[in-house]
Structure 1
Amino acid sequence: MTRRHLLPLLGLVALVLTAGCAGLFGSQPISDEQLNEEPPSPYVWDSEVDAHITITENARFQAVYRMNDTRMELFRRDGFGGRNAIPVSAVRYRYPNGTVVTGTELVARGGSINRSRSRVAVSLPDDSPDGGGGQLAFTSSSTPKRFSLPTFVDGSYAVVLPPDRRVEVFPFGKVSPRGYEVVTDGDSRVVRWDDVTADAVSVQFYLQRDLLIFGGAAAGLAVVGAVGVLYYKRRIEELREQREELGLDVDTDDEFRDDPPPGMG
């Protein structure tokens, strides 16, 4: 291949590598539509905890964090120790005086919200308190019947489960870290920690009907197993009767006893 033919190929390779590096290491702003869309339900600003997370029916969650810094990085850890950015929408910032601004207003006031492959970096507005302050809220996606996220702030946490979900029965329900309590709020359960110092909070939950389904399946398997045992015993009886009718001097019980083979006793 001549040098003239190599030039277009080299140009294409350079373009691909450049695009890949930009996607891997660069960052880009999130659209105004995502930042300003309305949350599924009003954010819970006036809670007593440092992190208040409400899990909704459609495998999404709404989070409100009390800021102790002027910057926060939002991500999930993968199974290889790396980080992946989480999708965020309906971003709001609440000043300590109670004023709430949208995501685009936060940016217009000197803050920033940028997404890269590994994280969503949020910086508070220039007029926010020094050293952090106020509350940051956003909406994101979760996993059906399981919520897990790093602890972006230290302190007290509350995770509100969707209605009729429970965590009490292991292994269907699992909560980490320990030191939590479960309280009832209407038809919802709230998992609370007074002080979280672990790297992540994880809550696996279930519907009440899941236990009924599992119990029914277990009962069905038990019935099938009992029928199998009865069938096996019936076949043994039939074999014994057939041998007796043929006059065979063979004790079928010997075939099924647990004594070791001859010479092995």
Structure 2
Amino acid sequence: MRADCANCFGLCCVALTLTASSDFAIDKDAGTPCPHLADDFRCGIHARLRPEGFSGCTVYDCFGAGQKVSQETYGGRDWRSARDTAGQMFQVFPVMRQLHELLWYLTEALTLPAAEPLYAELREALAVTEHLTALPAGDLADLDVSAHRDEVAALLLRAGARERAAIPRRDRRSRRGADLIGARLRGADLRGAELRGAYLIAADLRGADLRRAELIGADFRDADLSDADLTGALFLTQAQLNAARGNAATRLPDFLTRPPHWEPSRSGSG
């Protein structure tokens, strides 16, 4: 469930729409290759994406859907050499990406001790999702992935609630989908907080305690996580970290990587 660009046909560089903004330097329609996509399906400016105005590309994560579609669904036939597959392939890729994201969350949920009473349901949901990823291309293109995602989301919500309930906290208000853009949360005790889908864009979370906080779908673009503690945070992804700012003192779960653009240290900064 990790991206392997060497075995992908640059699908995220073609299938997705880009809108000129602070995240992307250009407008690009879905199905149109990015002008920086090389003949070998590599990015021609990969080492310069941020200074070239493509920071959005550095935070995108397909959860391994790219190589799955390229090498398994289409058996290694790329959209350039088999152009009759191109349109369908670009339709299948976003569907596979959603399925792989669900696999990521379900796999994590099966490691949560408090969610043990739900393990049988979680395993079944995982098996169903894995089965869907193996469907033929035509079936994937027609799949109602939103309906499946809603079912899994409800199960994940129950699993997260059980895990968060084990954390003693005074404030148990739900911040699901909350507008916390630019919020001043420096040093905040957010242990076990429900921040599912919260907008934390440019929020000051320096030194915040986010252990066991539920972060599925939370928007961390330009949020400052310097010196924050995210160990054990629930449903945190690499893409969320890549979109944020942090430093060497930010504590992360072992399975995630400190983004290279984070600062070495900002402890004690004002």
- TM interval, shorter chain, is under 0.3
Which has the larger share of helix? 2
Which has the larger share of strand? 1
Given the two structures, how large is their TM-score scaled by the length of structure 2? Answer: 0.21
| Greater C-alpha Rg | 1
Structure number with the bigger relative contact order (C-alpha 8 A, sep ≥ 6) is 1
